[in-house]
Structure 1
Amino acid sequence: MTGKDSIYAAEQEVKDFTFDANVVEVFPDMIQRSVPGYATMVSTMGKLAGQFAQSNSNLYDLGCALGAVTLSMRRNIDKENCQIIAVDNSAPMVERCQLHLKGFKSEVPVDVQLGDINEIEIKNASVVAMNFTLQFIPQEQRQTVLEKIYAGLKPGGVLLLSEKIKGENDVKDNLLIDLHHDFKRQNGYSELEISQKRTAIENIMRTDALSTHIERLHTVGFGNTQVWYQCFNFCSMVAIK
């Protein structure tokens, strides 16, 4: 069972956001009420993983959190001898992810690892998923991470990337922010919660414009990149090697 997200409901001294045990307990509610189209993104990432998975290969879920994308990928894989490697740097997330996976039987093995994405090796990969993960990596390190992913992907392999983005200029960015905040209001978040959550994440989540993402992906070698979903400032894309 998970609870309702009320982490920022009371006025408090706001500290930098962390994926700690308190967040784990309310994470599904937090995501559903904060990210428009989240269920669509997760289910489609699973379908794309099934489409691009290659026999005798690894599929990675980097920043796996509670394992939503891992489970979606596993439901859609029908190729032989595939395994999913799910990685997160939050011990409470990894522990809960392992419990979730035990509740769903599958012939596709999953190795859930506690680790730093910057340090793990990507090898023999047909699919790499990063679902709202790159945005928490320092901007100066993002290209290096993508270069490692590209190098570890097999020909025809894909990166499935979802990110919160910023507008190409201040006018466009403020429009997207206002639309997102209205979405959160409609889902029951108060002005205090919206304000305090924004303060909590502003130092640890630095968003890029969509054009920056596309240019970076092309720079590391992805010749075919396609945005397949966007709602407000949330975007999903596929990059094919």
Structure 2
Amino acid sequence: MQPQPIDTIFSEKRKKIDFAFNEEVVNVFSDMIKRSAPGYPTIIEQIGRFAPLFAENNSKIYDLGCSLGAISNALRHSIKTENTEIIAIDNSAPMIEKASQFFQLQDQVHDGLIPIHLKHDDITQVDFEPASIFVLNLTLQFIEPSERLALLSKIHQSLLPTGALFLSEKTYFHDPEEQAVLDDMHLAFKRANGYSELEISQKREAIENVMRIDSFEIHKERLHQAGFTRVYQWFQCLNFISIIALP
């Protein structure tokens, strides 16, 4: 097994450009996300454990903004329903290409996993089929704020009555003191994972116009507006949370 490439994208001074999920990022994404997003491995693992509670036979499962397929991989190993297919979608062609390579190799060594179909597409433009599970794992924050309600409404319309949406996001807090403390702790998390002050500052500048985050209260209100009746925060690690929304 080849060693995982290390994220050094912002380790030297570079011209400021908006962050993009291009080949440079995709190549180091697994390392980047683990060192940047506190609680990320736990979110992946636990959604894999929770999903079988909601998966139904003869339905689709959507992994929206699937990146390299970590969520899809967890779902494939936990869900055993019949005539079920995972549809994993991302608007980054390099992400889909690398994820496709991974799942092709996986299918050569594992039997009995539910099928997966990877698509390079814009999730705001996709027509969804009836589904028992939707996952937006650190995805909605990269969607234009004006398009988020419409996307969630479309998800709700396609979700089966006993299904679930799992939504994970970086958030902000309305209390300035709480925000300041958790920001400092997040910076400490990144430093402990080997990022320098230059890397932290350049990454922040690159992503500030691309990733626009909401508070939990805004997420909850928007999900209710989209038609979801029950919205629960089941996880928090610093300023990263995960929500389950039920029809």
TM-score with structure 2 length normalisation? 0.95
Q: Report the count of equivalent residues.
A: 241
| Selected match of 1:25 from 23, 27, 30 | 27
Asked whether the 8 Å contact 2:10–2:198 carries over to 1, the reply is: yes
Match of 1:48 in 2: 50
Match of 1:160 in 2: 166
Measured against aligned partners, the alpha-carbon deviations of 1:127-166 in whole angstroms (never above 9, x if no partner) come to 0001000000011111111000000101111100000001
Shift of 1:100: 1.0
Match of 2:225 in 1: 219
Measured against aligned partners, the alpha-carbon deviations of 1:90-137 in whole angstroms (never above 9, x if no partner) come to 000000000111222343110100000110111210000010000000
Q: Which amino acid aligns with 2:193?
A: N
| Selected match of 2:145 from 136, 139, 146 | 139
Asked whether the 8 Å contact 1:61–1:70 carries over to 2, the reply is: yes
Q: Which amino acid aligns with 2:60?
A: N
Measured against aligned partners, the alpha-carbon deviations of 1:46-82 in whole angstroms (never above 9, x if no partner) come to 1222221000000000000000000001111111110
Asked whether the 8 Å contact 1:122–1:153 carries over to 2, the reply is: no
Matched, 1:172 2:178: yes
Alignment of 1:1-241 (within 5 A): 1=2, 2-104=4-106, 105=110, 106-241=112-247
Segments of 4+ moved more than 3 angstroms: none
Identity rate of aligned residues, in percent? 45
3-state SS of 1:171 partner: helix
Q: Separation in 1 of the partners of 2:131 and 2:174?
A: 33
More deviation in 127-136 or 43-52?
43-52
Q: Separation in 2 of the partners of 1:219 and 1:233?
A: 24
Shift of 1:171: 2.9
Asked whether the 8 Å contact 1:167–1:174 carries over to 2, the reply is: no
Provide the alpha-carbon RMSD of the alignment: 1.0
Q: Which amino acid aligns with 1:66?
A: L
Asked whether the 8 Å contact 1:177–1:233 carries over to 2, the reply is: yes
Measured against aligned partners, the alpha-carbon deviations of 1:185-233 in whole angstroms (never above 9, x if no partner) come to 0110000100000000000100001100011111111111111110111
Shift of 1:240: 1.0
Q: Which amino acid aligns with 1:18?
A: A
Q: Separation in 2 of the partners of 1:59 and 1:219?
A: 23
Q: Separation in 2 of the partners of 1:113 and 1:146?
A: 19
Q: Which amino acid aligns with 1:70?
A: S
TM-score with structure 1 length normalisation? 0.97
Q: Separation in 1 of the partners of 2:226 and 2:132?
A: 17
